[in-house]
Homo-oligomer: A and B are copies of this chain.
Amino acid sequence: MNGLLTDLYELTMAAGYFAAGKHEETATFELSIRRLPRNRDFVIAAGLHRAIEYLENLRFTANEIAYLRGLPSLKNASQGFWDYLAAFRFTGDVFAVPEGTVLYEGQPVMNVRAPIIEGQIPETYLLAAIGYETLVATKAARIVHAAAGRDIVEFGTRRAHTPEAGVLGARAAYIGGCAGTSNTLAGYRYGIPVLGTAAHSWVMAFASESDAFERLQRLLGSRTVHLIDTYDTLEGARNAARLGRPLWGVRIDSGDLAQLSREVRKILDAAGLTDAKIMVSGDLDESKIEALVAAGAPIDAFGVGTELTTSADAPSIGAVYKVVAIGNIGNVRYPVKSSPEKHTIPGAKQLFRLPDHDVLGLSTECITGSEALLQPVILGGRVLQDLPDANQIRVRADAALREWPKATRRTVLSPKLKALNDSVRGVYVHTEHAQPAVTI
């Protein structure tokens, strides 16, 4: 189950490690934010729940193994390897930053310490699961910030990269500060507030707009939101005003939102509906929302879809999953990939958060007065405890984001990590293509 949801090269390497007798050698892999997404000063880590669920359930079924045996790339794999895959379980340790944590460029999200094959196979899944939710939580935080206290409702499932991604995008958007989502399954599964009333097709299905509005009101009562731009927005506002309470408010989904919201506000106020709210939607992102807020448009809530759920201005994150230490206790080596633009800092690390800066140190260090962000979540293949739910994670992210913005925060290497890094680079420089190695 899930065993094939990985890049083939993870499995050819697994077969190769097995052939080389390396399957009992321990390695530490680090998933880190090598490059921030475009336009971002930080990210909000998210997606850990799926990483853990995956590692707990990672298996290869008999049918999957039969498929792999038929692949030309694996025709030289031994029977021992197939037996190994059939019995495969993740037995390693995982340390990760809690979801909702703010991270900066170069910082680790997760360490996986396991027999090398068990650490290698999950690379593809972990990067995608953590990468996507992290992207959306981060985008949501930016959009929520731009709205300066007004609610953001996430509407984006229809533009998600598959419907199922929409469910996870909804969760991540909520973690990043959205008030709720339109995605019903996300509400069911993650306990997130779900919101939604009616689309244009509702208005178009009845003989008149007023008829459609009246029937919606009968169903939804004080939760009614009339979508007023199907035919003519101001006429729609007048139809809504005429019906009066019970009413949450109206939504405008097209046109000049600043101007229309002002005119609609006047229509509602003139009808005595000063408590009726105005929600707007339609291709919104943080810069459009910031402009509407700055213009003083009388908008109470924003519905945001495409731009949020696809993180459209930065639809990927430069996360990487690199081996940072290999070997069992007493014989640990520190491989480093030293291509010009892609240097890896070796060693199993800990990220220490201090009031005004972060320290990246060795996992064995302890820095007084800091919060050690990489916390154990799986030890010896066993999940340690229940994870926080989406609401608790959202509180953590909210607390971390109060001091926004934080573009200038520094990350420094601890003296011990710096010494390790320098020594490994030194070894590399002198040995050319031989593998750099330091034994501790």
Residues of A at the B interface (CB closer than 8 Å) are: 4-13, 15-17, 19-20, 22, 27, 29, 50, 54, 64, 67-68, 71-73, 76-77, 116, 120, 123-125, 127-129, 131-132, 135, 155, 157-169, 182-185, 187-188, 194-202, 204-210, 215-216, 218-221, 223, 229-233, 235-236, 239, 253-255, 306, 310-312, 315-317, 321-323, 326, 335-342, 428, 432-435, 437
Contacts and interface: CB of A to CB of B under 8 A. Distances in A.
Contact of A169 (B16, B161, B196): B161
A182 B6 CA distance: 8
Nearest to A22: B205
A218 to B, nearest CB: 7
7 contacts: A13-B199, A22-B205, A72-B223, A116-B205, A124-B163, A161-B315, A205-B323
Given A132-B165, A200-B322, 10 more contacts: A9-B197, A10-B199, A68-B184, A76-B218, A120-B201, A128-B157, A128-B165, A159-B316, A255-B339, A306-B316
A339 B199 contact: no
Contact of A323 (B5, B169, B201, B306): B201
Given A158-B7, A208-B434, A323-B201, A341 B164 contact: no
Given A162-B128, A220-B73, A206 B435 contact: yes
A12 B195 CA distance: 10
Given A158-B123, A159-B127, A207 B254 contact: no
B231 A196 contact: no
B162 A161 contact: yes
